[in-house]
């Protein structure tokens, strides 16, 4: 399933287990730093990516509720781990295990966000992909995008409560 105007090649890219994708955004999610591995995997030149919304690499297979959970967590000053499927400029995709953290100034105010992404385990990707398909179906089952996102978000919350674990522990259990 893809958004109008979003080309998907169906080709998966991978990166080395010893490589780390690094990016930094301002508090609005605009990219202010991207390392060489990020640029290579996303297929953008640095000049093309700086000051662009990080969502420029958002893959349409990613449920919006996952990003709501991510933003709610980091805006609250906490770190989060998540499996994310990203889209390269040419339509390829790549999976990451992301670790996103807020950066604070001396007064404790959040001034930016930092994300390190590692190559994920294949079995964890398969489990995340199955969950994300389920969440996307909930989101897409509503005519109203916000209502769909909220319904899928509540499904994630219920799943976590049922398992009795916080999101990070759930991610590491995949």
Residue by residue, pLDDT tens for the chain (174 residues) are: 444 468 999 999 999 999 999 999 999 999 999 999 999 999 999 999 999 999 999 999 999 999 999 999 999 999 999 999 999 999 999 999 999 999 999 999 999 999 999 999 999 999 999 999 999 999 999 999 999 999 999 999 998 898 888 888 888 888
The answer to whether 98 and 91 have CB atoms below 8 angstroms apart is no
- Residues, the chain, total? 174
Task: Establish how many alpha carbons lie within 13 A of residue 133's alpha carbon, considering only the half-sphere containing its beta carbon.
Answer: 6
pTM score: 0.92
Q: What is the CATH number of the domain that holds 110?
A: 3.30.450.20
Cα–Cα distance for residue pair 50/165, rounded to 1 Å: 36
Give the whole-angstrom CA distance, residue 72 versus residue 80.
10
> Does residue 10 belong to any structural domain of this protein?
no
Q: Does residue 139 form part of some domain?
A: yes
In a domain, 75, yes or no: yes
Find, among 88, 81, 74, 71, the residue nearest to 10 by Cα. Answer: 88
Q: What is the distance between the alpha carbons of residues 44 and 57, in angstroms, rounded to a whole number? A: 10
Query: What stretches of the chain show up as alpha helix (H) in DSSP?
Result: 36-42, 46-49, 64-75, 122-140, 145-163, 167-173
Which domain does 125 fall in, by range?
Answer: 21-173
In total, how many domains does the chain have? Answer: 1
Angle at which helix 145-163 crosses helix 64-75, to 10 degrees, equals: 70
Would residue 40 count as lying in a domain? yes
């Amino acid at each position: 399933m893809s958004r109008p105007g979003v080309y998907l090649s169906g080709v998966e890219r991978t990166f080395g287990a010893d490589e780390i994708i690094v990016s930094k955004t301002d508090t609005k999610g605009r990219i202010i730093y991207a390392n060489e591995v990020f640029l290579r995997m996303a297929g953008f030149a640095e000049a093309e990516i700086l000051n662009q919304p990080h969502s420029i690499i958002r893959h349409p297979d990613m449920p919006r509720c996952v990003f709501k959970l991510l933003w709610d967590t980091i805006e609250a000053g906490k770190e989060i781990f998540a499996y994310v499927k990203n889209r390269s400029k040419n339509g390829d995709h790549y999976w990451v295990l992301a670790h996103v953290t807020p950066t604070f100034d001396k007064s404790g105010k959040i001034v930016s966000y930092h994300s390190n992404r590692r190559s994920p385990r294949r079995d964890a990707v398969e489990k995340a992909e199955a969950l994300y398909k389920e969440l996307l179906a909930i989101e897409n089952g509503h005519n109203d995008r916000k209502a769909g996102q909220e319904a899928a978000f509540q499904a994630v919350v219920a799943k976590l409560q049922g398992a009795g674990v916080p999101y990070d522990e759930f991610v590491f259990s995949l």
